[in-house]
Each structure stands twice: as structure tokens, then as C-alpha cells.
Structure 1
């Protein structure tokens, strides 16, 4: 079936989402059950943040945050908090 974990990296969350999609396709889980698992995963995704960013690294990090949001791996509120963290810690050029 599907095993829940205490925390997920973004890559692990994406794999878990893909696994849930497969389980729904095989009719092992209902879409409603899969949705509950997705909410569980989304609330436990951890993103590694650095203490400071160069402007180029900040752009890359924000792009990655945007990709994670579009994939549904992290929530909109979490993405906004991560972007604010990155902006606050970006070194002035």
C-alpha cells in the first residue's frame, strides 16, 4: 500500500505523488484516499534553506520553489515564506 513518513524532501514528495497516482490508476486507492495522503505529504515537505544567497543562487532557488509549487509539492503559503526567506538573505551586488 502506501507508507506515510515524518518528513519528505521535494524529490521524495514527487516520487510519493507519482506512486499515489499509480495506486489510483490500479484502483488500489480511491482518489479521495490519495488526496488525504497528498495533504499529509504537502504538510511535511522540508526544503533546505541557506543562510545567505548570491543573486544568481537566489534566482535559481526561487525558480526551484516555483517548480515545486506548480507540481503541488509545496503549498502556496510555504512557497511565499521560502521566497521571503531567500529575498531577505540575498547579498546585495
Structure 2
């Protein structure tokens, strides 16, 4: 049915969310079970951060964080922490 993993990359999490939606649509699992799986996934999403960023790379990374937040893949508090990490490590040109 649905296989749980120990950690998820943001794209893997998005795919898992879509798979859960399909399982609910097929009535293989009920919406309540799907929400339990979604909580499991959201607590195990791992974003890879770099030790330093150029200005352009920081802009791209922040845009990616916004897209992940809008998609519901990462929570707002995590997104704020990621943006702070990126800002702190951006190299001024």
C-alpha cells in the first residue's frame, strides 16, 4: 500500500503526497489514514543546505523554499529557518 521512509527529499515528499491522494481517490485508504501518513512525511522532510551561497544561488534557493512552502511540502517555521540560514551564509559580491 504505502511505504514509509526515514527521511524525504522535498521532491520525494511531493510524490508521496500525490500517491496518498491517489490512494484516497481509489478508496484504498481513508482520508484519516492519509493524514497520519502526511504528518509522518512532513516531520521527516530534509532540505540540503550548503555552507555558503553566491547572491544568485541564494536567490534561487529562496525561490525554491517559497515554492515548497506554497506546495505544502515544508512548514512555515522551517521555511523561515531555511531562509535565515541562506541569508546568513550568502557571500557579498
Q: With the length of structure 1 as denominator, give the TM-score of the two structures.
A: 0.97
1:58 alignment counterpart: 58
2:69 alignment counterpart: 69
Q: Which runs of 5+ in 1 are unaligned?
A: none
Any runs of at least 4 consecutive aligned residues in structure 1 with deviations exceeding 2 A, and if so which? Answer: none
Q: Which runs of 5+ in 2 are unaligned?
A: none
Q: With the length of structure 2 as denominator, give the TM-score of the two structures.
A: 0.97
> How many angstroms apart in 2 are the aligned matches of 1:68 and 1:47?
10
1:16 alignment counterpart: 16
Q: How many residues are paired up?
A: 93
Aligned pairs (5 A) from 1:1-93:
1-93=1-93
> How many angstroms apart in 1 are the aligned matches of 2:41 and 2:49?
19
